[in-house]
Amino acid sequence: MTNHEDTFDLFQSLPSDLDPTLTYNPDVSPTVTVSAESDDVSAGLTRYLLPNLSINSYGAEGAQAVSEFLVEYQVGKGGIGQVDAAKQLCFNRMVAIKRVRSDRGSLYAQQQLEKEARVMGQLEHPAIPPVHFVGLDIDGQMTLVMKFIEGQSWLEIINKEFATAVRQKLPMWYIEKNLNYFIRVGEALEFAHQKSIIHRDIKPANVVMGSYGEVYLIDWGLALELDSGTKLKDQRYVGTPSYAAPEMLGANPTWDMRSDVYLMGGLLFHILSGSPPHNGENINDLFDRINKYPTPELCDNVPAGLREICARAMEKDPSNRYSSVHALIEDIRFFIIHGRMAELYSSASEDLSQIEDMLESGISSSDEFELLGARCRFRLEELSQNWPENVRVKGKLRTCLKLLTDDALQKSRLASARALLKQYGDLTDKETDTWIQEMNGRIARLANQLVSRTDELGIGIQSMLVEELAAQKKAYDDLLAAYAKLQKKVIE
């Protein structure tokens, strides 16, 4: 190890979730390296004439008069750098200032920050925070002045929402919301890949959601430009251990664009499970698990389509993964369009099974059956309109309409049966479907029965009225006779 290398003892300081971004050399010692000297990085700070930046903190004597930037508070810090929120006085705007941590200062750290600036300078994308300019602070330290993002890290949002979202099944509002974020991160990464730049540290903590719906993939400090756009070999692992891909580990780690695909799979895993894909008692245990054990699987409360996408993105063998981030997010887009339909299909199928069970049990006269039938029909109609190429949906809709038509006839609901049969006829060949002919016959017979019953009822009512009128006439005649007798007696 060099004099500039700072390490943490694994068994004393390593966080249990192994979440921080780290650099690790498995062949040196059981330590996690957060800053290391590297002979293959040339000292390039003097290649450019960088401007001097006047940066002070609020409250410093005369700070307002002589400063270009006034630091208000620290936003955060990583392995070698720290980010402060500062006001740029000439524009009266907030900016983010990234510098090497005072306790991590080294030539290597300065070169890493310079490299980050060069990489980010090539990445002009709506989901990647722009670097306004690069300069030197009062101590001659490399300083990046970047767009200031107001918002929350995706990790904070997931931690808050996942706990409330999970009951027995992940709700579609949670899935669709986070998959749309995922796509925007993937688009930024695909843009970088087109320039042969890989990120190497993709995780929810490195995605920030702005106050107005913006999504930013941040922390490009470990990003590298691949030679000839293919692969990179190094002697150390860098990144976040709990998301590491197998090829990143071992004595000669190898990275290419499919390594970022794996990290995107780990990001998807975290979204859908609420935690990173890998864990262990310490760094050696965790890396051993990644190399020896199968890729972790999502539980059954996650839709099957997403489980398959995540598993393919996190295949241990890079050749079995998606060939690009673009291919991965295209599958995610397809799921968003058809995934809700799949969920609706599952619910409608459950409704249909209950309808069949209730009819078989002879309890179709309940209000619950009426509600269930209407809901099942509505769901299948929506599926048929939005997923017209799905033959299984049409098949289930025909089955539902058959059951409801037969039930309507059993309950002598002629108008309802006719409407249901007409809808069924629109989904099949009326000329060859014998069931339609059978139902038309049943409807005709029911109609005749109802007419006959109406005639019988009319005749019965007429007879009752005649009898009632006759009885009332007789009573009236008897009353007149009695009145006549009474008058005769009075006269006599």
End-to-end CA distance of the chain: 148
Domains, the chain, ordered by start = 6-151 (3.30.200.20), 152-323 (1.10.510.10), 337-428 (no CATH)
Evaluate whether 308 touches 278 at the Cβ level (below 8 Å): no
Name the residue type at position 200. R
Cα 126 to Cα 112: distance, rounded to the nearest angstrom? 24
Closest CA to 206 of 192, 189, 193: 189
Given a cut of 60, is residue 475 above it in pLDDT?
Answer: yes
Is the pTM above the cut of 0.75?
Answer: no
Identify the weakest region by mean pLDDT among 219-223, 258-262, 319-323, 326-330. 219-223
Name the residue type at position 325. V
Given a cut of 70, is residue 199 above it in pLDDT?
Answer: yes
- Mean pLDDT, the chain, integer: 80
Element (H, E) at 328: helix 325-361
User: Quick one: average pLDDT of 145-173?
Assistant: 85
Residue 237's pLDDT is 75
Per-residue pLDDT band at 182 (split at 50, 70, 90)? very high
Residue 272's pLDDT is 95
Q: What angle do CA 393, 394, 397 make, to 5 degrees?
A: 85
Please return the burial class of 431, using the count of CB atoms within 10 Å of its CB with bins 0-12, 13-18 and 19+.
exposed
Residue recorded with tokens 């339909």: 341
Cα 481 to Cα 492: distance, rounded to the nearest angstrom? 17
Collapse the DSSP code of 411 into the 3-class scheme (helix H, G, I; strand E, B; otherwise coil) and give the result.
coil
Residue 79's pLDDT is 67
Residue 374's pLDDT is 92
Given a cut of 60, is residue 23 above it in pLDDT?
Answer: no
Given a cut of 80, is residue 474 above it in pLDDT?
Answer: no
Q: What angle do CA 152, 155, 160 make, to 5 degrees?
A: 85
H helical segments located in 27-106: 63-66
Given a cut of 50, is residue 38 above it in pLDDT?
Answer: no
Cα 442 to Cα 295: distance, rounded to the nearest angstrom? 59
Between 216 and 139, the higher pLDDT residue? 216
